[in-house]
């Protein structure tokens, strides 16, 4: 294994080598977002001369897209360089990694939303609740001016799929922002940053317990460019959900099971999919040597804590269990990123061609059901047969299964499980897969980054995808360092326990059942 020649002995050196390049990438992203980021029609920013120049001309649109491409490429490059140095032997404290994360994040705090405009749906849903409507049965189209507020028409008629805590957040942000959706987007970004902060605090703690270098776990799971793109720039509420899930698992692993159950319960009141982590909280609470009666008892206790959390927040929010029926809302999107949906569309298309079906709806539904059943079966097996693996690792596999086999896959769904995989270790091949998937989803993000370039509609999709492949390919192959990470080399040995104390800690996290 290659060893770094020296360890930076000051925060200034760390920031100059690792913080500044990512900061520049984020700053360039922010400049590009003024041209192709999501701004509602009611935003006063549209009257800014710089914004008008970028959005009102073909040249401005092209420049904006180029800025997005370059910004993402620089972030990815900075991330790869940091990873190479860490895997080469560079030792960085958690606080210095936090400093790098802050540097990379800071310019994006004032960026218009990029890669998604879900934040404006959050804002409109808050106004909907404030107006006295039931968000689990009513779409935001009943709110005057919803389109001018930036809501995607795709979601205008759909119920809200979020839990009571996030409904309270939406209502609070809507009240605070009044009729300023642009301001609301910045506030929702702060909420998302709370989730990123929870990840930054608890991923290192989980990693240490599993014998993994906390700095390396932070690099893969929190400083990942996809976190910057989708949790910070896009401000998805998944950030808060993931942060609470990671915190809950860490607290339970540290012996504070009730707090862990409460944290995962809170995560479920943001997005109910987080409840998938409940049985793993119960196992951690019971302990790695728990027999069946003890496991069942702590599973029941975990459910009890979660029910109390849901009940309290539902009473405060004034809502019931309508979120159960609204869980199918994301499934209204059909994306080729979902393997089960893609297979269903292909099979359905063949049935249409052969005259055996009039649409592909039945095939899509059938394969989606198969995928969900398979994911739930995998999760059940991971819970009832946890022996021989870390319980947290089991939770990571379950979350990955529900994404990979689920009806919809969005790029940020990868981040549901990535922090947990980072904290529990990655083999050499697993690390390479994560790096390639990060690059691949970065390509997807920048190819889909434009919201205003209708004047390039005939050409933008193909050109963007080709350009993204070329640019990210150059980043991955720019130097021997990056090539070693991608194709294998002395430093691409994975992220595993490296000495006897770390191996001992990792062994203590493995479930062995009753002694």
DSSP states of 53-115 as a string?
Answer: HHHHSHHHHHHHHHHHHHHHHHHHHHHHHHHHHHHTT----HHHHHHHHHHHHGGGGGSPP-S
Reference 482, options 85, 35, 42; nearest CA is 85
Determine, yes or no, domain membership for 390: no
Reference 442, options 478, 469, 463; nearest CA is 469
Contact between residue 19 and residue 104 where contact means Cβ atoms under 8 Å apart: yes
Q: Residue range 335-347: average pLDDT?
A: 83
Residue corresponding to tokens 């194709």: 487
pLDDT, tens only, 94-110: 999 999 999 999 999 99
| Local structure of 453: helix, strand or coil | coil
Q: If pLDDT is split at 50, 70 and 90, which confidence band does 490 have?
A: low
Q: Residue range 441-466: average pLDDT?
A: 58
CB atoms within 10 A of CB 506: 18
Min mean pLDDT across 198-207, 238-247, 355-364 is at: 355-364
What percentage of the chain exceeds 70 in pLDDT? 88
Tell me the CA distances in angstroms from 400 to 195, 335, 403, 421, 443, one per residue in order: 19, 17, 5, 10, 21
Instruction: Please give the structure tokens belonging to residue 233.
Output: 């720039």
Q: If pLDDT is split at 50, 70 and 90, which confidence band does 1 have?
A: very low
Of residues 317 and 490, more confidence is placed in: 317
How far is the C-alpha of 246 from the C-alpha of 242, rounded, in Å?
Answer: 6
Determine, yes or no, domain membership for 394: no
437-443: long-range contacts (C-beta < 8 A, 24 or more apart)? 438/76, 438/79, 438/224, 438/225, 438/226, 439/76, 439/472, 439/475, 439/476, 441/226, 441/411, 441/414, 442/72, 442/76, 442/225, 442/226, 442/229, 442/468, 442/472, 443/468, 443/469, 443/472
Reference 438, options 399, 401, 482; nearest CA is 482
| Local structure of 510: helix, strand or coil | strand
CB atoms within 10 A of CB 448: 16
Contact between residue 319 and residue 136 where contact means Cβ atoms under 8 Å apart: yes
Of residues 401 and 436, more confidence is placed in: 401
| Local structure of 385: helix, strand or coil | coil
Q: If pLDDT is split at 50, 70 and 90, which confidence band does 461 have?
A: low
Determine, yes or no, domain membership for 446: yes
Q: Residue range 475-483: average pLDDT?
A: 69
Q: Is the pLDDT of residue 515 over 60?
A: no
Determine, yes or no, domain membership for 347: no
Give the pLDDT score at 345.
85
Provide φ and ψ at 487, rounded to 5°: -100, -10
Phi/psi region, residue 41 (left: phi>0; alpha: psi -120 to 50; beta: rest), is: alpha
Determine, yes or no, domain membership for 2: no
In sequence order, the β-bridge partners of residue 426 are 495
Give the pLDDT score at 455.
38
Report H helices in 354-417.
361-384, 391-404
How far is the C-alpha of 500 from the C-alpha of 385, rounded, in Å?
Answer: 27
Contact between residue 264 and residue 274 where contact means Cβ atoms under 8 Å apart: yes
Q: Residue range 251-265: average pLDDT?
A: 96
Q: Is the pLDDT of residue 348 over 70?
A: yes
Give the pLDDT score at 439.
84
pLDDT, tens only, 282-309: 999 999 999 999 999 999 999 999 999 9
How far is the C-alpha of 392 from the C-alpha of 212, rounded, in Å?
Answer: 13
How far is the C-alpha of 320 from the C-alpha of 314, rounded, in Å?
Answer: 6
Give the pLDDT score at 151.
87
Count of domains forming the chain: 1
Of residues 309 and 449, more confidence is placed in: 309
Reference 302, options 274, 284, 282; nearest CA is 282
How far is the C-alpha of 157 from the C-alpha of 124, rounded, in Å?
Answer: 12
Give the pLDDT score at 46.
81
Determine, yes or no, domain membership for 369: no
Find the domain containing 230 and state its range: 11-333+408-508
CB atoms within 10 A of CB 42: 15
Contact between residue 274 and residue 403 where contact means Cβ atoms under 8 Å apart: no
Give the pLDDT score at 353.
85
Give the pLDDT score at 458.
40
Q: If pLDDT is split at 50, 70 and 90, which confidence band does 176 have?
A: very high
Q: Residue range 469-485: average pLDDT?
A: 69
How far is the C-alpha of 107 from the C-alpha of 342, rounded, in Å?
Answer: 37
Determine, yes or no, domain membership for 263: yes
Residue corresponding to tokens 């922010």: 30
Q: Is the pLDDT of residue 4 over 60?
A: no
Give the pLDDT score at 327.
60
Q: Residue range 367-395: average pLDDT?
A: 93
Of residues 125 and 466, more confidence is placed in: 125
Give the pLDDT score at 236.
95
Q: Residue range 330-353: average pLDDT?
A: 79
Q: If pLDDT is split at 50, 70 and 90, which confidence band does 252 have?
A: very high
How far is the C-alpha of 300 from the C-alpha of 288, rounded, in Å?
Answer: 17
What pTM was computed for the model?
Answer: 0.91
Q: Residue range 312-328: average pLDDT?
A: 77
How far is the C-alpha of 239 from the C-alpha of 224, rounded, in Å?
Answer: 13
What does the mean pLDDT of the chain come to? 86
Instruction: Please give the structure tokens belonging to residue 5.
Output: 């020649």
Give the pLDDT score at 462.
57
Q: If pLDDT is split at 50, 70 and 90, which confidence band does 160 have?
A: confident
Of residues 281 and 177, more confidence is placed in: 281
Provide φ and ψ at 271, rounded to 5°: -135, 120
Tell me the CA distances in angstroms from 164 to 169, 237, 248, 458, one per residue in order: 9, 13, 18, 42
Q: Is the pLDDT of residue 193 over 70?
A: yes
Q: If pLDDT is split at 50, 70 and 90, which confidence band does 488 have?
A: low
How far is the C-alpha of 314 from the C-alpha of 182, rounded, in Å?
Answer: 28
pLDDT, tens only, 403-421: 999 888 888 999 999 999 9
Give the pLDDT score at 189.
96
Q: Residue range 75-102: average pLDDT?
A: 91
Contact between residue 405 and residue 379 where contact means Cβ atoms under 8 Å apart: no
Of residues 158 and 208, more confidence is placed in: 208
Q: If pLDDT is split at 50, 70 and 90, which confidence band does 464 have?
A: low
Give the pLDDT score at 456.
39
Give the pLDDT score at 206.
97
Determine, yes or no, domain membership for 273: yes
Contact between residue 397 and residue 378 where contact means Cβ atoms under 8 Å apart: yes
Q: Is the pLDDT of residue 153 over 80?
A: yes
Give the pLDDT score at 306.
95
């Amino acid at each position: 294994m290659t060893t770094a020649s020296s360890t930076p002995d000051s925060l200034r050196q760390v920031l100059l080598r690792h913080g500044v390049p990512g900061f520049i990438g984020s700053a360039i992203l922010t400049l590009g977002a003024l041209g192709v980021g999501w701004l509602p029609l009611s935003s006063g920013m549209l009257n800014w001369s710089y914004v008008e120049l970028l959005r009102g001309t073909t040249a401005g649109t092209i420049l904006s897209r180029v800025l997005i491409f370059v910004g993402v490429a620089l972030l990815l490059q900075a991330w790869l360089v940091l990873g190479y140095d860490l895997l080469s032997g560079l030792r960085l404290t958690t606080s210095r990694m936090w400093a790098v994360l802050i540097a990379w994040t800071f310019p994006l705090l004032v960026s218009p939303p990029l890669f998604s405009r879900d934040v404006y749906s959050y804002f409109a849903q808050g106004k909907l609740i404030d107006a006295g409507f039931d968000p689990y049965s009513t779409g935001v189209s009943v709110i005057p001016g919803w389109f001018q507020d930036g809501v995607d028409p795709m979601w205008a008629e759909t119920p809200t799929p979020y839990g009571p805590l996030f409904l309270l957040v939406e209502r609070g942000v809507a009240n605070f922002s009044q009729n300023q959706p642009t301001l609301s987007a910045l506030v929702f970004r702060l909420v998302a940053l709370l989730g990123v902060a929870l990840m930054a605090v608890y991923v290192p703690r989980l990693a240490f317990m599993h014998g993994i270098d906390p700095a390396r776990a932070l690099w893969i799971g929190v400083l990942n460019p996809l976190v910057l793109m989708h949790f910070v720039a896009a401000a998805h509420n998944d950030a808060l959900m993931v942060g609470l899930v990671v915190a809950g698992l860490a607290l339970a692993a540290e012996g504070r099971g009730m707090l862990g159950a409460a944290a995962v319960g809170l995560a479920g009141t943001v997005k109910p999919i987080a409840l998938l982590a409940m049985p793993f909280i119960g196992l951690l609470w019971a302990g790695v040597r728990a027999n069946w009666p003890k496991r069942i008892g702590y599973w029941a206790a975990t459910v009890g804590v979660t029910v109390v959390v849901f009940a309290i927040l539902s009473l405060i929010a004034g809502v019931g269990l309508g979120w159960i029926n609204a869980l199918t809302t994301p499934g209204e999107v059909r994306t080729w990123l979902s393997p089960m949906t893609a297979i269903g569309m292909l099979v359905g298309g063949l049935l249409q061609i052969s005259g055996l079906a009039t649409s592909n709806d039945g095939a899509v539904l059938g394969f989606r059901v198969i995928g969900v059943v398979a994911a739930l079966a995998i999760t059940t097996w991971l819970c009832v047969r946890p022996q021989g693996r870390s319980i947290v690792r089991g939770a990571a596999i379950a979350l990955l299964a529900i994404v990979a086999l689920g009806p919809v896959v969005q790029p940020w769904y990868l981040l549901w499980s990535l922090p947990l995989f980072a904290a529990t270790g990655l083999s050499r091949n697993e690390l390479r897969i994560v790096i390639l998937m990060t690059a691949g989803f970065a390509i997807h993000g920048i190819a889909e980054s434009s919201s205003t370039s209708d004047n390039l509609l005939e050409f933008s999709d193909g050109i963007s995808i080709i350009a993204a492949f070329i640019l990210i390919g150059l980043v991955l192959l720019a130097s021997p360092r990056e090539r070693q990470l991608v194709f294998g080399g002395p430093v691409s040995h994975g992220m595993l326990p490296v000495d006897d104390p770390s191996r001992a800690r990792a062994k203590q996290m493995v479930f062995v059942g009753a002694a």
